[in-house]
Chains A and B, each alone.
Chain A
Amino acid sequence: MSDTLTLVMMSLGLYSTGILLYSWLIGSFWKKHDLLITLPVSWILGNGFWMLILLGLAGANLLPLITLSRVVTISLITTLVALFFILRVVRLIPLLIVALTVFILWPVIEHASHSYLIEWDAVAMWFLKAKSWYLSSGISDNALYTSSHYLYSERSHAIGVPLMISAFYRSIGHVNDQIAQLYLVQYYVLLTIALLGFLKKQSTSLSWFTLWPLVLFVMISPSYIRFAASGYLDIAIALVITGVTGLWLMLCTTVDRKESLRLALLTIVVGATASYLKNEGMVITAVSVLATLGWYLTAYRRLTGTEWGSFIVAGLYASAGITIWQQMKRIYGISIYLGEHISATTMLSRIKPILFHYLDTLYNTSGFGIGLVLLFITIVITITVSLVTRQGKHLTAYAIPLILLSSYTGVYLITPLNFSLQLTSSFERLLLQLIPAFLLATGYVVRRLQLSNMT
Chain B
Amino acid sequence: MPHRYEWYLLPLVIILFVIHFHYYDFYTTNFRDIKNFINPSAPEGLYVQVQRQNPYWELYEQSVNYQGSSNSIYVVFTDQRTLDYTTTYYTGKKTNISELVIMTNYFFYPREIPTISFKQLKNITLQPHDLIIADMNINAYIPATQSGLIRLSASVKKQHVMVNKKFEDPYYLFVKGGL
Rounded to whole angstroms, the CA-CA distance of A425 and B23 in the bound complex is 23
Contacting pair B20 A118 (CB below 8 A): no
Among B2, B19, B38, which residue has its beta carbon within 8 angstroms of that of A209? B2
Among B38, B99, B103, B105, which residue has its beta carbon within 8 angstroms of that of A150? B105
Contacting pair A149 B27 (CB below 8 A): no
Distance from A166 Cβ to chain B, minimum over Cβ atoms (Å): 12
- CB-defined contacts of A217 to chain B, threshold 8 Å: 13, 16-17, 20
Contacting pair A210 B6 (CB below 8 A): yes
- CB-defined contacts of A206 to chain B, threshold 8 Å: 2-3, 6, 9
B interface residues, tally (CB under 8 Å): 48
Q: Kindly list 19 other residue pairs between chains A and B, CB separation below 8 angstroms, not including A220-B20, A337-B92.
A: A107-B32, A114-B31, A115-B50, A116-B50, A118-B164, A121-B102, A123-B102, A132-B109, A143-B109, A149-B105, A149-B112, A150-B105, A152-B91, A206-B6, A209-B10, A217-B16, A220-B24, A369-B20, A371-B16
| Chain A interface extent, by class | 35 or more
- CB-defined contacts of B21 to chain A, threshold 8 Å: 216, 220
Q: Of all chain B residues, which has the CB nearest A127?
A: B106
Q: Of all chain A residues, which has the CB nearest B14?
A: A213
Rounded to whole angstroms, the CA-CA distance of A143 and B89 in the bound complex is 21
Interface centre among A116, A144, A370 (most CB of B within 10 A): A116
Contacting pair B50 A114 (CB below 8 A): yes
Distance from B113 Cβ to chain A, minimum over Cβ atoms (Å): 9
Rounded to whole angstroms, the CA-CA distance of A381 and B170 in the bound complex is 50
Contacting pair B85 A421 (CB below 8 A): yes
Instruction: Scan residues 1-41 of chain B and give those whose CB is less than 8 A from a CB of chain A.
Output: 1-3, 6, 9-10, 13-14, 16-17, 19-21, 23-24, 27-28, 31-32, 34-35, 38
Interface of B is mostly: helix
Among B54, B83, B93, which residue has its beta carbon within 8 angstroms of that of A116? B54
Q: Of all chain A residues, which has the CB nearest B23?
A: A222
**B-contact bits for A359-373, CB 8 A (1 contact / 0 none):** 000000000011100
Q: Of all chain A residues, which has the CB nearest B57?
A: A116
22 residue pairs of the A-B complex, CB under 8 angstroms, read A108-B28, A108-B31, A110-B35, A111-B34, A114-B50, A116-B53, A118-B164, A118-B165, A120-B103, A123-B103, A124-B102, A124-B105, A132-B110, A152-B89, A178-B46, A207-B1, A207-B2, A210-B13, A217-B16, A222-B164, A369-B23, A370-B16
Q: Decide yes or no whether A411 CB sits under 8 A from chain B.
A: no
Distance from B5 Cβ to chain A, minimum over Cβ atoms (Å): 9
Interface centre among B3, B9, B97, B106 (most CB of A within 10 A): B106
Rounded to whole angstroms, the CA-CA distance of A421 and B96 in the bound complex is 13
**A-contact bits for B58-95, CB 8 A (1 contact / 0 none):** 00000000000000000000000001010001111100
Please list the residues of chain B having a beta carbon within 8 angstroms of any beta carbon in chain A. 1-3, 6, 9-10, 13-14, 16-17, 19-21, 23-24, 27-28, 31-32, 34-35, 38, 46-47, 50-51, 53-54, 83, 85, 89-93, 97, 99, 102-103, 105-106, 109-110, 112, 162, 164-165, 168
Among B46, B50, B103, B109, which residue has its beta carbon within 8 angstroms of that of A131? B109
- CB-defined contacts of A107 to chain B, threshold 8 Å: 27-28, 31-32
Rounded to whole angstroms, the CA-CA distance of A135 and B109 in the bound complex is 9
**B-contact bits for A256-276, CB 8 A (1 contact / 0 none):** 000000000000000000000
Distance from B101 Cβ to chain A, minimum over Cβ atoms (Å): 9
Q: Decide yes or no whether A418 CB sits under 8 A from chain B.
A: yes
**B-contact bits for A115-138, CB 8 A (1 contact / 0 none):** 111101101100110011001000
Q: Of all chain B residues, which has the CB nearest A425?
A: B85
Interface of A is mostly: helix
Distance from B179 Cβ to chain A, minimum over Cβ atoms (Å): 31
- CB-defined contacts of A123 to chain B, threshold 8 Å: 102-103, 106
Known: A108-B31, A417-B90. A207 touches B102 (CB 8 A): no
Q: Of all chain B residues, which has the CB nearest A149?
A: B112
- CB-defined contacts of A64 to chain B, threshold 8 Å: none
Q: Of all chain A residues, which has the CB nearest B31?
A: A111
**B-contact bits for A409-424, CB 8 A (1 contact / 0 none):** 0000000111001001
Among B13, B102, B103, which residue has its beta carbon within 8 angstroms of that of A213? B13
Interface centre among A147, A209, A421 (most CB of B within 10 A): A209
Contacting pair A124 B110 (CB below 8 A): no
Rounded to whole angstroms, the CA-CA distance of A118 and B162 in the bound complex is 8
Contacting pair B97 A152 (CB below 8 A): yes
Rounded to whole angstroms, the CA-CA distance of A210 and B102 in the bound complex is 45
Distance from B162 Cβ to chain A, minimum over Cβ atoms (Å): 6
Q: Decide yes or no whether A95 CB sits under 8 A from chain B.
A: no
Q: Decide yes or no whether A225 CB sits under 8 A from chain B.
A: yes
- CB-defined contacts of B112 to chain A, threshold 8 Å: 143, 147, 149
Distance from A200 Cβ to chain B, minimum over Cβ atoms (Å): 13
Q: Decide yes or no whether A176 CB sits under 8 A from chain B.
A: yes
Contacting pair A111 B35 (CB below 8 A): yes
Q: Decide yes or no whether A202 CB sits under 8 A from chain B.
A: no
